[in-house]
Amino acid sequence: MSETILGPHKESVGSPAHPTAGQGAARKEGIGAYSGVGAEPLARLSDIDEFRTGYAKLKSGEWDVGKWQGYRLRFGVYGQLQPNVHMIRIKIPGGVLSFDWLRRMAEANRRWGGKNLHISTRQDLQDYYVKPDDVPDYLQFLAEAGITTREACGNTLRNMTACALSGVCPREHVDAGAVAQRLAVSWIRHPLSQHMPRKFKATVSGCETDCGSSHIHDLGLVATHQDGKPGFKVYAGGGTGGIPISACLVADFVEEHDLPAVVEALVRLHQRYSNRRNRNKARIKFIHKRFGSEKFRELFEDAFAETRTMPQRPWQPLDWRQGDAAAPEPASPGGVVDAHDGSQAVVVHQELGLFTADQFDALTDLAERAGAREFRTTRDQNLVIVGLHPSKVDDVVAGVRALGFMVEDGPGSVANVVACPGTSTCGIGITNSQSFGATIQDAVRAYQAKPNLSVKISGCQNGCGLHHVADFGFRGMGKKIAGRNAPHYQIYIGGHERENGHIGLAGPIVPARLAQEALDLLLAGYAGGRQGDESVRDWALRLGKEGMTALIKPVAAKVRAEDEGLFFDYGEDWVFTPPAGRTAECAAGIIDDDLQKDLADDALVNVDRALMAGAAAAAAARYGADGFRFTAQRLRILAGLPGAEDDTDEVIISTLRTVHGGDTEVMAALERIVAARARLDSADGGKTDAETTVMREALAYWIDMVDEVIARPPAAADFKMGALDDSGGGVAALIKNAPGGDS
Rounded average pLDDT over 23-33: 32
Q: Is the Cα dihedral 395, 398, 404, 405 positive or negative? A: positive
Average pLDDT of span 541-545: 94
pLDDT at 610 > cutoff 60: yes
In the predicted model, is pLDDT for residue 688 greater than 70? Answer: no
Domain 336-402 sits in CATH at 3.90.480.10
Residue 740 pLDDT: 34
**pLDDT over 50 at 379, yes or no:** yes
Distance CA 423, CA 439 (A): 15
Q: At what angle do helices 664-682 and 649-660 cross, to 10 degrees?
A: 160
pLDDT for residue 2: 33
| Secondary-structure class of domain 416-567 per CATH | alpha beta
Lowest-confidence segment of 71-75, 167-171, 498-502, 672-676 by average pLDDT: 498-502
Inter-residue contact 15 to 33 (CB < 8 Å)? yes
Q: Quote the pLDDT of residue 722.
A: 34
Q: What is the pLDDT of residue 257?
A: 96
Nearby residues of 34 by Cβ (< 8 Å), 6 or more positions away: 18, 311, 312, 313, 609
Confidence at residue 34, expressed as pLDDT on a 0 to 100 scale: 39
Residue-level pLDDT at 200: 94
* pLDDT at res. 691: 79
238-250 tens-digit pLDDT: 999 888 999 999 9
What would the mean pLDDT of 655-666 be, rounded to a whole number? 89
The whole-number pLDDT of residue 580 equals 67
Beta strands 383-388; 344-348: pairing state: antiparallel
| Fold agreement (171-307, 336-402) | no
Residue 329 CB: number of other CB atoms within 10 A?
14
Biggest CA pair distance of the chain: 89
Percent of the chain with pLDDT over 90: 61
Phi/psi zone of residue 92: left (φ > 0), alpha (ψ -120 to 50 degrees), beta? beta
Q: Of residues 194 and 139, which shows the higher confidence score?
A: 139
455-485 CB burial, b ≥16 within 10 A, e <16: bbbbbbbbbbbbbbbbbbbbbbbbbeeeeee
Q: pLDDT at position 686, please?
A: 53
Q: What confidence category does residue 443 fall into, taking pLDDT thresholds of 50, 70 and 90?
A: confident
DSSP type of residue 461: T
Between these two residues, 437 and 587, which has the higher pLDDT value?
Answer: 437
pLDDT at 283 over 80: yes
Predicted pLDDT of residue 66: 83
Q: Domain 45-143, CATH 3.90.480.20 — does that match?
A: yes
Contact indicator for 190, 102 with CB cutoff of 8 Å: no
Handedness of CA 575, 581, 586, 590 (dihedral sign): negative
Task: Output 177 or 27, whichever has higher pLDDT.
Answer: 177
Most confident of 9-13, 66-70, 309-313, 487-491: 487-491
Task: Give the C-alpha distances (Å, rounded to integers) separating 686 from 337, 618, 680.
Answer: 63, 10, 9
Backbone angles phi, psi at 549, to 5 degrees: -65, -40
Is the pLDDT confidence value at 741 over 50?
no
Give the Cα separation of 571 and 431 in Å (integer).
Answer: 10
Q: Is the pLDDT assigned to residue 178 strictly greater than 60?
A: yes
**Per-residue pLDDT at 14 exceeds 90:** no
Long-range contacts, stretch 110-113, CB < 8 angstroms, 24+ apart: 110/357, 111/138, 111/141, 112/137, 112/138, 113/88, 113/138, 113/357
Q: What is the mean pLDDT of residues 597-603?
A: 83
- 620 strand-pairing partners: none
The CATH architecture annotation of domain 171-307 reads 2-Layer Sandwich (3.30)
> What average pLDDT score do residues 554-560 get?
94
Classify burial at 232, counting beta carbons within 10 Å of its beta carbon; exposed 0-12, middle 13-18, buried 19 or more.
buried
Higher pLDDT, 356 or 3: 356
In this predicted structure, which of 142-146, 439-443, 512-516, 611-615 has the lowest mean pLDDT?
611-615
pLDDT the model gives residue 192:
83
| pLDDT tens by residue, 451-491 | 788 999 999 999 999 999 999 999 999 999 999 999 999 99
What is the average pLDDT value for the chain, to the nearest integer? 86
Give the DSSP letter of residue 722.
G
The more confident residue out of 517 and 453 is 517
Strand partners, 64: none
Rounded Cα distance between 105 and 716, Å, is: 45
Nearest by Cα to 284 from 415, 461, 153, 157? 157
pLDDT band of 647, cuts 50, 70, 90: confident
pLDDT at 499: 58
Instruction: Please tell me the least confidently modeled range out of 9-13, 250-254, 367-371, 398-402.
Output: 9-13
**Out of 464-473, 605-614, 627-636, which region has the weakest mean confidence (pLDDT)?**
605-614
Residue 498 scores a pLDDT above 90 = no
Exposure string (b/e) for 152-166, b if CB count within 10 Å is 16 or more? bbbbbbbbbbbbbbb
Count the neighbouring beta carbons within 10 Å of the beta carbon of residue 75.
25
Q: Are 406 and 351 in contact (CB under 8 A)?
A: no
Every domain of the chain and the residues it spans? 45-143, 171-307, 336-402, 416-567, 591-737
**Residue 27: which pLDDT band, with cuts at 50, 70 and 90?**
very low
Q: What pLDDT shows up at residue 332?
A: 66
Strands 229-236, 96-97: parallel, antiparallel or unpaired by DSSP? unpaired
| pLDDT band of 591, cuts 50, 70, 90 | low
